[in-house]
Structure 1
Amino acid sequence: MIWRYLLCAAAAYLLGSISTGVLVSHRLFHDDVRKYGSGGTGATNMLRTYRLKAALITFAGDALKAALAVGLGRFLAGFDGGCLAAVFAVIGHMWPLYFGFRGGKGIACTVGAVAVLSPILLIPLVVLWAVPVALSRCISLGSILAAIGLTPAVALWCHGQGLAPAFPVGCAAVITLLILWAHRENMVRLAQGKENKI
């Protein structure tokens, strides 16, 4: 069984390493989004650099690769395999093998992963993201709060489903910590009142 989990992790990391933002910026703009703004490859930096269409394509691509990784993980090793794949898809997105280990911050990947693991969890997470963004116009604030909400949301969902919570909640906690780490500079700017707004 161990080999199945190892395969889940490896495949998810390789899928997560496909940086949609880099590919879109190269293909559509003959450019590299990492040269601009935050230097990230995610939808927010694509929005600020190339506007809405590029950001939507990037978000969809990043969510899809994580969804595929989690689907493969579930096929290979059940629900826990999907949870493990979610973690490694996010790791691959943040530190992509193919693009110099410079990636995004993991939000779209997390959305894609959750959509496959339990779509109903997207409801509270979207609310936690959308309300702060609407009020503050800071995308990072919504992303941080949604990331913080992920772990308790998974814990409550496991309780409601009668599932053993240790592994899913542990994986959710790792993803939360990864996203918070990726947003550490944003948190400093938010505390200083200097964060970029949309």
Structure 2
Amino acid sequence: MKFFVLLIIAYLLGSIPSGVWIGKFFFKKDLRQFGSGNTGTTNTFRVLGKKAGIAVLLMDILKGTLATCLPLLFTLDVNPLVFGVAAVLGHTFPIFANFKGGKAVATSAGMILAYNPAFFVYSALIFIIMLYITSMVSLSSMISAVLITLSTIILPFAIPAILPHFDWLLTSIALVLTIFIFIRHKDNIERIKDGTESRVPFGLGARKKNKTND
């Protein structure tokens, strides 16, 4: 009984629509009606600005972290990733926002943070490097998801200090989330192909674009 109650709590935590609530309360804007229509961090930065974007990023990460910590807080002998996945599902299909949510990246990061902080730092560095190279959040998210999934297999044997043992559930979840992230970014993929995808104003990709425009 405790398992199912905590699972529901994890989903509800993930369902908190940070971007929607911050947009409506502080800016009188519904994120779903602006930009890409997505309620996640990237569209928040684009529509509401840096402060709101950082706030949503931190809140979305925290949702995944808190949900993943539930079995530890309530002494339940279950792999914490199960509850992290529930939060990710809540973030992507939030009951508080008509089941239209984000793209699962930030909340997934929060799940990894609670599961293994060292692996979280490693994963964050991969994303930052990819973002610097591509200057595109969407492309960086997809490439990072693939590399992180491969890392769950390689690191336990190559660098056990980061990931001490192979966890088949972690690898399975990473693989499923990678596929899901690609599906959720299908519109971004089309824009990347067309050369119209939005870029952040820094990194090699941004410099290349600026030189082309010049």
Q: Which moved more, 1:187-196 or 1:28-37?
A: 187-196
Q: Which moved more, 1:50-59 or 1:175-184?
A: 175-184
- Tell me whether 1:134 sits opposite 2:136 in the alignment: no
- Counting matched residue pairs gives 195
Q: Distance in 2 between matches of 1:77 and 1:158?
A: 25
1:9 to 1:163, Cα distance in 2 relative to 1, 3 A: farther
* SS of structure 1 residue aligned to 2:36: coil
Q: Distance in 2 between matches of 1:55 and 1:77?
A: 34
When the two structures are superposed, what TM-score results if normalisation uses the length of structure 2? 0.82
How large is the Cα RMSD of the aligned pairs? 2.0
Is the Cα–Cα contact under 8 Å of residues 90 and 175 in structure 1 kept in the other structure? no
Q: Equivalent residue for 2:184?
A: 182
1:174 to 1:12, Cα distance in 2 relative to 1, 3 A: farther
Q: Which moved more, 1:152-161 or 1:32-41?
A: 152-161
When the two structures are superposed, what TM-score results if normalisation uses the length of structure 1? 0.88
Percent of aligned positions with the same letter in both sequences? 28
Larger helix share, 1 or 2: 1
1:10 to 1:174, Cα distance in 2 relative to 1, 3 A: farther
Q: Equivalent residue for 2:84?
A: 86
- Tell me whether 1:171 sits opposite 2:181 in the alignment: no
- Tell me whether 1:30 sits opposite 2:28 in the alignment: yes
The alpha carbon displacement at 1:78 in A equals 4.1
Where in structure 2 are there 5+ consecutive unaligned residues?
Answer: 201-214
The alpha carbon displacement at 1:10 in A equals 2.1
Q: Distance in 2 between matches of 1:133 and 1:116?
A: 23
Q: Equivalent residue for 2:42?
A: 44
1:176 to 1:187, Cα distance in 2 relative to 1, 3 A: same
User: Which residue of 192, 195, 207 maps to 1:193?
Assistant: 195
1:78 to 1:164, Cα distance in 2 relative to 1, 3 A: farther
Q: Equivalent residue for 2:153?
A: 155
User: Amino acid of the residue matched to residue 176 of structure 2?
Assistant: V
1:77 to 1:153, Cα distance in 2 relative to 1, 3 A: farther
Q: Which moved more, 1:31-40 or 1:184-193?
A: 184-193
Q: Equivalent residue for 1:14?
A: 12
- Tell me whether 1:54 sits opposite 2:52 in the alignment: yes
Rg: which structure is higher?
Answer: 2
Q: Distance in 2 between matches of 1:41 and 1:51?
A: 13
Q: Distance in 2 between matches of 1:9 and 1:148?
A: 27
Q: Distance in 1 between matches of 2:130 and 2:118?
A: 20
The alpha carbon displacement at 1:166 in A equals 2.0
Is the Cα–Cα contact under 8 Å of residues 73 and 84 in structure 1 kept in the other structure? no
Q: Which moved more, 1:63-72 or 1:163-172?
A: 163-172
The alpha carbon displacement at 1:132 in A equals 2.5
The alpha carbon displacement at 1:122 in A equals 2.1
The alpha carbon displacement at 1:8 in A equals 4.1
